[in-house]
């Protein structure tokens, strides 16, 4: 065992979901080690306990995982459960932490950010409930990074992660586990696999785009091998260190191969994609896109069709920028709906307290109390189970939902790679207008309130402030502005737009058309073009 002296790095502050930086930054001597030691320094009582470790297979995964194994050993973990080849999806890590009562887990991923030697790497710590470390933990880790002076590591050859089985490293047992098995077993306990098997037997067609990222092996085993979907259902199914040069973010812009298929002639009946680390999902029908906010509402409204949820939902939680479509379902069901800040870490306490069963975010994230992360393949299986039970198309299910609950037109406009100072100025400018905006009229819309969202956790009463500027209109429409906490360079401005339409004769409209006036109001109030120097958003979802 060696103790190495080090000096602190600036900026090792975890964002919305872990620490994300360019690979080159992580490759600096001691950079990764400092952060990992700071995680361990912020924890108490892990000696002899179990750590779960894995990543999405992006460039630097292999190198980082060896370093972390040696540091976990030197710091006194009793056992490390590590995915074969160092691979585990984010929801699989969450499931494994819970199944084996681990102390916590480390996930190596920058999620939907691109990978490769010149792209992004990331690291995230999850606590014993299987969920992302809450803000008090990430803050403690950050404080340790500022004062770190040494780290502990064992001097040993690399561990062979290619074969399943048990090894020892120093005093620590290293168990190389199958990346998929525990997760696949859990999925089988939640859904009606026989019903889904019947669906595929009847000739149902589907494509799942793993985007060359972590879900490939999971989707092949669960969809093709277990549920009988034909070979070729899973596309881009081999995890690559650079995700094939793509951007593993399942949306209409980046999942273009799937989108082309689903909007082409002879399109399959169902399309889905997942992100780099497997926690996001996109749902498509034949020439039809389901917005993530609607998806959450539809899963909730159809939960009675799913074995694990048929006895009812305790409640629903959605992040603040997510549309209120789920709120309407919760209201109809007579259950609570919670509004949390962006990021899955805010759902953990609600799930642990049994206050909610389903959670979702507009950013292609949905999940439930089966783990403490959002879960891409879980959402796909949930949809498959609904499709099998209802024998209707994706489009029909969504349209019937709108007819019953009304439609929440929704869109997010992202301005990526904006100058940080200018982006902060834009937010400042909104702050300055905050008290003057209420009651002002813009065309048909009158502003009811304007605030910077803050949240008090109902279980531990912790307070999170500055979570995004909300402009609420009298008819329930909303515009939200916030800056991304997952980027690595410059700033990303996210503008979230929502309006509610009860009239079903207008439900066929394209969201960008229905939201046109609100989009104009957002520009008038925030002067997006002036501050960002951009004529149009980089990505529209």
**Residues with catalytic function:** 111
Partner from ligand VG1, Co ion, none contacting 192, C-beta within 5 to 8 A by type: none
Taking CB under 6 A as the criterion, the residue among 486, 499, 532, 541 binding ligand VG1 is 486
Taking CB under 6 A as the criterion, the residue among 12, 16, 42, 233 binding ligand VG1 is 16
Q: Which of 162, 212, 180, 272 is nearest to 57 (CA)?
A: 212
Sequence-separated (6 or more) residues with CB below 8 Å from residue 273? 208, 209, 210, 211, 250, 255, 258, 281, 282
Taking CB under 6 A as the criterion, the residue among 485, 507, 517, 540 binding ligand VG1 is 485
- 279 lines the binding site for ligand VG1 (CB under 6 A): yes
Structural element, H or E, at residue 262: helix 256-262
Structure tokens at 459: 């279980």
Residue 63 DSSP SS3: helix
In three state form, how does the secondary structure of 437-505 look? CCCCEECCEEEEEEEECCEECCCCCCEECCCCEEEEECCCCEEEEEECCCCCCCEEEEEEEEEEECCHH
Nearer to Co ion, 182 or 279 (CB): 279
Beta carbon of residue 331, minimum distance to ligand VG1 (angstroms, whole number): 23
Partner from ligand VG1, Co ion, none contacting 343, C-beta within 5 to 8 A by type: ligand VG1
Beta carbon of residue 325, minimum distance to ligand VG1 (angstroms, whole number): 16
Strand 172-177 and strand 491-501: pairing?
Answer: unpaired
Long-range contacts of 441-444 (CB under 8 A, 24+ apart): 442/521, 442/524, 442/525, 443/517, 443/520, 443/521, 444/517
Partner from Co ion, ligand VG1, none contacting 486, C-beta within 5 to 8 A by type: ligand VG1
- 365 lines the binding site for ligand VG1 (CB under 6 A): yes
- 498 lines the binding site for ligand VG1 (CB under 6 A): no
**In angstroms, what CA-CA distances link 196 with 205, 387, 390?**
12, 8, 11
Nearer to Co ion, 345 or 470 (CB): 345
- 373 lines the binding site for Co ion (CB under 5 A): no
- Cα separation of 265 and 276, whole Å? 28
Nearer to ligand VG1, 270 or 344 (CB): 344
Taking CB under 5 A as the criterion, the residue among 275, 373, 375, 457 binding Co ion is 275
β-pair partners for 81: 52, 175
- Cα separation of 215 and 219, whole Å? 6
- 21 lines the binding site for ligand VG1 (CB under 6 A): no
Taking CB under 6 A as the criterion, the residue among 120, 182, 275, 498 binding ligand VG1 is 275
- 56 lines the binding site for Co ion (CB under 5 A): no
Q: Which of 135, 494, 143 is nearest to 343 (CA)?
A: 135
- 342 lines the binding site for ligand VG1 (CB under 6 A): yes
Nearer to Co ion, 279 or 375 (CB): 279
- Taking the chain, what is the end-to-end CA distance rounded to the nearest angstrom? 50
Q: How many residues lie near ligand VG1 (CB under 6 A)? A: 18
- 119 lines the binding site for Co ion (CB under 5 A): no
State the CB neighbour count (10 A cutoff) for residue 521.
22
Beta carbon of residue 234, minimum distance to ligand VG1 (angstroms, whole number): 20
Nearer to Co ion, 280 or 407 (CB): 280
Beta carbon of residue 68, minimum distance to ligand VG1 (angstroms, whole number): 19
Partner from ligand VG1, Co ion, none contacting 17, C-beta within 5 to 8 A by type: ligand VG1
Of 51-59, 133-141, 484-492, 496-504: span binding ligand VG1 (CB under 6 A): 484-492
Residue 166 DSSP SS3: strand
User: Counting every residue, how long is the chain?
Assistant: 541
Structure tokens at 378: 């879980």
Taking CB under 5 A as the criterion, the residue among 277, 327, 362, 373 binding Co ion is 277
Centroid of chain to Cα 414: 16
Beta carbon of residue 112, minimum distance to ligand VG1 (angstroms, whole number): 5
- Cα separation of 231 and 239, whole Å? 17
Centroid of chain to Cα 303: 21
Of 81-89, 339-347, 377-385, 523-531: span binding ligand VG1 (CB under 6 A): 339-347
Residue 481, Cβ density class (10 Å: 0-12 exposed, 13-18 middle, ≥19 buried): buried
- 490 lines the binding site for ligand VG1 (CB under 6 A): no
Nearer to ligand VG1, 13 or 30 (CB): 13
Of 150-158, 254-262, 279-287, 310-318: span binding Co ion (CB under 5 A): 279-287
**Which residues from 98-127 bind ligand VG1, rule CB under 6 A?**
111-112
Structural element, H or E, at residue 365: strand 365-368
- 279 lines the binding site for Co ion (CB under 5 A): yes
Taking CB under 5 A as the criterion, the residue among 12, 34, 111, 295 binding Co ion is 111
Beta strands in 109-198 (DSSP E): 120-126, 150-153, 165-169, 172-177
Partner from ligand VG1, Co ion, none contacting 294, C-beta within 5 to 8 A by type: none
- 344 lines the binding site for ligand VG1 (CB under 6 A): yes
Taking CB under 6 A as the criterion, the residue among 182, 192, 361, 498 binding ligand VG1 is 361
Beta carbon of residue 296, minimum distance to ligand VG1 (angstroms, whole number): 12
> Residue with CB nearest ligand VG1?
111
Q: Contact residues for ligand VG1 (CB under 6 A)?
A: 16-17, 111-112, 275, 279-280, 319, 342-344, 361, 363, 365, 484-486, 494
Q: Contact residues for Co ion (CB under 5 A)?
A: 111, 275, 277, 279-280
């Amino acid at each position: 065992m060696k103790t190495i002296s080090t000096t602190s790095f600036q900026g090792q502050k975890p964002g919305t979901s872990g620490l994300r930086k360019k690979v080159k930054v992580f490759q600096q001597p001691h950079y990764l080690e400092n952060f990992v030691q700071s995680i361990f320094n912020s924890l108490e009582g892990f000696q002899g306990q179990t750590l779960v470790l894995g990543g999405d297979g992006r460039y630097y995964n292999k190198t980082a995982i060896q370093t972390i194994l040696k540091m976990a050993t030197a710091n006194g973990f009793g056992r490390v459960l590590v995915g074969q080849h160092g691979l585990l999806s984010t929801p699989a890590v969450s499931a494994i932490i819970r199944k084996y009562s681990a102390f916590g887990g480390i996930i190596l991923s920058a999620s939907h950010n691109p990978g490769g030697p010149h792209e992004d790497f990331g690291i995230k710590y999850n606590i014993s409930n299987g969920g992302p470390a809450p803000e008090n933990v990430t803050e403690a880790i950050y404080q340790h990074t500022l004062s770190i002076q040494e780290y502990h590591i064992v001097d040993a050859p690399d561990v062979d992660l290619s074969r399943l089985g048990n090894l020892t490293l120093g005093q620590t047992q290293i168990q190389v586990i199958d990346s998929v098995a525990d997760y696949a077993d859990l999925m089988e306990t939640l859904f009606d696999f026989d019903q889904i098997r019947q669906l595929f037997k009847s000739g149902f067609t589907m494509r799942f785009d793993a985007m060359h990222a972590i879900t490939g092996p999971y989707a092949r085993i669960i969809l093709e091998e277990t549920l009988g979907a034909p070979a070729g259902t899973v596309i881009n199914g081999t995890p690559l260190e650079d995700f094939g040069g793509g951007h593993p973010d399942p949306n209409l812009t980046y999942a273009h191969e799937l989108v082309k298929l689903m909007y082409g002639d002879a399109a399959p009946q169902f399309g889905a994609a997942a992100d780099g680390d497997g926690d996001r999902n996109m749902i498509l029908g034949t020439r039809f896109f389901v917005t993530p906010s609607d998806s959450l509402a539809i899963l909730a409204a159809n939960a009675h069709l799913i074995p694990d949820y048929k006895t009812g939902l305790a409640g629903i939680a959605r992040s603040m920028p997510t549309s209120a479509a789920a709120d309407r379902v919760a209201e109809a069901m007579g259950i609570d709906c919670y509004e949390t800040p962006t990021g899955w870490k805010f759902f953990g306490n609600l799930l642990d307290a049994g206050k909610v069963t389903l959670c979702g975010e507009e950013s292609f994230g949905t999940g439930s109390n089966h783990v403490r992360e959002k879960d891409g393949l879980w959402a796909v299986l949930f949809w498959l189970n609904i499709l099998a039970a209802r024998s209707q198309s994706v489009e029909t299910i969504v349209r019937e939902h709108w007819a019953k609950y009304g439609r929440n037109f929704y869109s997010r406009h992202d301005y990526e790679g904006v100058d940080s100072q200018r982006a902060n100025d834009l937010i400042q400018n909104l702050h300055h207008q905050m008290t003057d905006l209420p009651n002002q009229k813009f065309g048909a819309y009158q502003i009811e309130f304007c605030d910077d969202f803050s949240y008090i956790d109902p279980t531990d009463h912790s307070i999170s402030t500055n979570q995004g500027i909300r402009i609420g209109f009298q008819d329930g429409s909303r515009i939200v502005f916030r800056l991304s906490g997952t980027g690595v360079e410059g700033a990303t401005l996210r503008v979230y737009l929502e309006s509610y339409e009860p009239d079903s004769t207008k439900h066929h409209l394209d969201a960008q058309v229905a939201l046109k006036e609100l989009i104009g109001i957002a520009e008038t109030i925030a002067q997006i073009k002036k501050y960002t120097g951009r004529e149009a958003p980089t990505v529209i979802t």
